[in-house]
Amino acid sequence: MDQTDKRIVFNLLKNGRVSQRQIASDLGISAQVLNYRMNKLIEDGIIKNFFLHVNPQIYGKMEEFAAFKTEKQYDGEISLKLNCLEEITLYGFVGTSREELNQKIAMATEVLGLPVMRYLPPPPKISMNIRDLDFKIIDLLKKDPRMSISNIATALDVPYMSVKRRINLMEENRVIGVITQVDLSGGELVLYSIFSNSVDSFFPSLAQSTIFAIRDASAGFALCYADSLKTAKSSVTKVREQDPGAEVMVLYDYEFYQ
């Protein structure tokens, strides 16, 4: 992978639905060159998959995260799994109540042992009304997260601009987001997660490298990207300077589930 390939991957990590036209424009390359490079990244298995992450709040649910320090793996009902080199795996659990979440984490605890960290973020405010059209769009995007607006409009027999407006609203309100899964085994790309109780001090400085974040007024965690270990170390050093107690974990694999 050269720097152009890494920048393509970074664009897709930041926004799994970013158009190829936008990526080509940002990188200053032709659409044909970008199409060739993207297809090659997919054929080589560097870009593995795309996942649609849906805010469980629209279904009347909540999401809690728990980290376990063990080499064991848990394949129960989870929403995400971040495998880290430090033998820590962060899991996401979705439920309709605290009681249900406690039950699901208890089941994981039977396999993995007691969690070293649990985090239940408050539900974010959604400043939009979720309509029937939104659920229909989500159902299509679950099957093909990068499905074009024109194809969605055709499939649902609704105007193009109506679909575009609803998708934009859902993205702005973090109702949906497309996560790109990449192969980290080659070591040319670095993903790392940071959990801190002092997020206001450094989260803004990580904005350009953050691809997924959950936070409240104080605590939170971010999944971040770096094009090398040197770049990652520089970012982590800055975090440590402002919050020595921050938990930093380097990922070797990750997956989101619908």
DSSP conformation letters of 47-101: EEEEEEEE-GGGGT-EEEEEEEESS----SS-SEEEEETTSEEEEEEEESSHHHH
pLDDT for res 206: 77
pLDDT for res 222: 82
Is residue 79 scored above 90 in pLDDT?
yes
Q: How confident is the model at residue 66 (pLDDT cuts 50, 70, 90)?
A: very high
89 vs 207: which has the higher pLDDT: 89
When pLDDT is averaged across residues 143-165 and rounded to a whole number, the result is 97
- For the chain, the domains span 3-44, 132-173, 184-253
Contact 192, 248 (CB under 8 A): yes
Contact 72, 250 (CB under 8 A): no
Neighbours of 77 (CB within 10 A): 12
Is residue 51 scored above 70 in pLDDT?
yes
Q: Could you give the angle at the alpha carbon of 196 between the alpha carbons of 126 and 97, nearest 5°?
A: 45
Distance, in Å, from the CA atom of 217 to the CA atom of 151, rounded to the nearest integer, reads 39
Query: Each residue of 184-237: pLDDT tens digit?
Result: 877 678 888 888 777 666 677 777 788 877 776 667 778 888 888 888 888 888
CATH code for the part of the protein at 3-44: 1.10.10
When pLDDT is averaged across residues 124-134 and rounded to a whole number, the result is 91
Q: In angstroms, what is the C-alpha Rg of the chain?
A: 19
122 vs 38: which has the higher pLDDT: 38
Q: How confident is the model at residue 107 (pLDDT cuts 50, 70, 90)?
A: very high
pLDDT for res 187: 64
Instruction: List Cα–Cα distances, 74 to 104, 106, 109, 184, in angstroms.
Output: 11, 12, 9, 20
Instruction: List Cα–Cα distances, 180 to 24, 49, 51, in angstroms.
Output: 18, 6, 6
Residues near 177 by beta carbon (within 8 Å), at least 6 away in sequence? 15, 16, 52, 53, 171, 212
Q: How confident is the model at residue 109 (pLDDT cuts 50, 70, 90)?
A: very high
pLDDT for res 231: 84
Q: Look at the block and give the residue holding tokens 């992450």.
A: 53
The region of weakest confidence among 3-7, 69-73, 83-87, 155-159 is 83-87
Is residue 92 scored above 70 in pLDDT?
yes
Q: Look at the block and give the residue holding tokens 């890494």.
A: 6
206 DSSP 8-state letter: G
Neighbours of 78 (CB within 10 A): 17
**What single letter denotes the amino acid at residue 167?**
I
When pLDDT is averaged across residues 114-126 and rounded to a whole number, the result is 85
Can 3-44 and 132-173 be said to share one CATH topology?
Answer: yes
The region of weakest confidence among 127-141, 156-170, 176-190, 212-226 is 212-226
CATH code for the part of the protein at 132-173: 1.10.10.10
Q: So what's the architecture of 184-253 in CATH?
A: 2-Layer Sandwich (3.30)
pLDDT for res 199: 67
**Token pair recorded at residue 236:** 């982590």
**Token pair recorded at residue 122:** 């408050």
